[in-house]
Every structure is written in C-alpha cells, then in structure tokens.
Amino acid sequence: MSSVKRGRGAAGKRPRLRVRSAGPADLAQVVAIDERATGLAKPEYWAGILRRYGRRGAPRRFLVAEAGARIVGYIVGEVRDWEFGSPACGWVFGIGVRPDTREAGVGAALLEAITAAFRRLGVATVRTLIARDNQLVLSFFRSQGMMAAPVIPLEKDIG
C-alpha cells in the first residue's frame, strides 16, 4: 500500500501524516476513535474488519493515518461491481478522525489515499452513505467535492 505524506511537521500547525494499511497493532486506537464518535466500543467488529479488509491485493482497503506513533484516523472501503445495479465503484464504509486532530487534513488525506487506491483498481467513482443527521461527516464529504449520488436509500420497518 502506498502512503500519502502530508503536513509541515513539528514546525507547522498540522501534524506530519503517514497513511498506510492498518495492522493488528493499530486496532486498539481505531476502536478508541470509533468509540469516541459513536459511544460504542466494538473491538470484535474491528477485528473482523481487519481480517476482511486488511489483506493486501484485494479490492478492499482499511487504512490508518499515523502522526508520530499515534493513529489519528482510519478509513475503510472497497470496490464493488454491480451493487445496486451500478457499474464498479469505490465505496467508503467508515471514516473516523481523532477530535483533537480535526481540521488538520487527516480526513482529506485518508480519503485521498483510498480514492487513489480505488483509481488504481480501475474505478472512476467513489460513493458513501451517511445518516442524514450526521452533519459533521456529511459536511466533510461535501467539502471534499462529493455531491448527492443518483440513488435513493430506502428502508422499511420489519420489526
């Protein structure tokens, strides 16, 4: 996995970032970032994500952003063919950034890295799905140039 390096190092405001594939040693910090955002610790879920998305070569990516020895963000996604009738495109399933490193380009670097990986896998579109009331994440993806996709998510209560 190629890495994206960004930032001006210790002298600048932004941390020097390295984006790379996630490994087992990163899981605890990823779980903590996710727990901070969602209020739920899901170590088993993230161990499963690492098993399925952490392998090299597959059309799946689980990347982390590292600043020094600290994991400051993660992103998970994969290329899917003909899902929902759509030609192959990259899907971003999850993104998280430590609150104390927000607005420092971490999310943008992660999205840039996974987008580059998707492009290398031959796709020209990246999509994601976000809860309507998640204004923080919606605004982030909008700021990265993402617009409404020509699809409408539907659901039905079957309880």
List of residues contacting other proteins (CB under 8 A): 103, 132-133, 135, 138-139, 142-143, 145, 148
Instruction: Give the separation between CA 107 and CA 21, rounded to whole angstroms.
Output: 15
Instruction: Give the separation between CA 77 and CA 83, rounded to whole angstroms.
Output: 14
Instruction: Give the separation between CA 123 and CA 102, rounded to whole angstroms.
Output: 29
The minimum distance between CB 103 and other proteins, in angstroms, equals: 7
- Cβ atoms 22, 30 nearer than 8 A: yes
The minimum distance between CB 124 and other proteins, in angstroms, equals: 17
The minimum distance between CB 104 and other proteins, in angstroms, equals: 13
Q: Which is nearer to other proteins, 2 or 139 (CB)?
A: 139
The minimum distance between CB 105 and other proteins, in angstroms, equals: 13
Instruction: Give the separation between CA 17 and CA 50, rounded to whole angstroms.
Output: 21
Q: Which is nearer to other proteins, 37 or 88 (CB)?
A: 37
Q: Which is nearer to other proteins, 119 or 142 (CB)?
A: 142
What does the block give as tokens for 73? 């963000």
The minimum distance between CB 69 and other proteins, in angstroms, equals: 29
Q: Which is nearer to other proteins, 88 or 137 (CB)?
A: 137
What does the block give as tokens for 77? 């996604």
Contacts of 135 (CB under 8 A, 6+ apart): none
What does the block give as tokens for 27? 């899981």
Q: Which is nearer to other proteins, 57 or 145 (CB)?
A: 145
